[in-house]
Amino acid sequence: MAASMVRFESRTVIRRPASEVFERLADLPGYRQWMHRDGVFAGTELTSLPPIRAGTTYVDRTRMGRFVGEVTEHVPATRIAFSETLTWFGRPLTQARPSYVLEADGDSTVVHHVAEAELYGPMRLLKPAAAWMSTRERTHTLASLKRSLEGE
């Protein structure tokens, strides 16, 4: 069965240096301290040894299940990307690929965020709900990231 794609794209400015924004995004176990608590996210645990870099593996616990993930790109202060898969009973339901491109702008950072998800099997039937949930989660994640760094 073919996959169905959901895509989210956004841009925000955070009044902190790109190195600090990158450090926050790369600190996967630290997400629990700044991530919003009203969504599907419950926590992230590393499944490979630090330091976090391309190839680092982790598990995101969510209300939908466990996403098994890997850091696919890790360029300090510039780019970080992930690939994570949600499976149920050994079958993939969703493969998500969130990425962040950071652009220094004086003392601030322009954060370009793109998240794509491929939906498989029964999740394809839920594409409108998945698109809504993805938009909500990604928007809240960016707002939480900004708030955690700017202290608002």
Q: Which domains does the chain carry?
A: 4-150 (3.30.530.20)
Helix residue ranges per DSSP H, the chain: 18-26, 31-34, 127-150
Res 40 pLDDT > 90: no
Least confident of 4-13, 16-25, 67-76, 127-136: 127-136
pTM for the full predicted model: 0.93
Question: Tens of pLDDT along 77-103?
Answer: 999 999 999 999 999 999 999 999 999
Question: Tens of pLDDT along 53-71?
Answer: 999 999 998 888 899 999 9
Give the H/E segment covering residue 145.
helix 127-150
Give the model's pLDDT for residue 125.
Answer: 87
**pLDDT tier, 151 (very low <50, low <70, confident <90, very high otherwise):** confident
Structure tokens at 26: 């790369």
Structure tokens at 137: 């989660």
CA distance 30 to 26: 9
Give the model's pLDDT for residue 5.
Answer: 93
Give the H/E segment covering residue 105.
strand 91-105
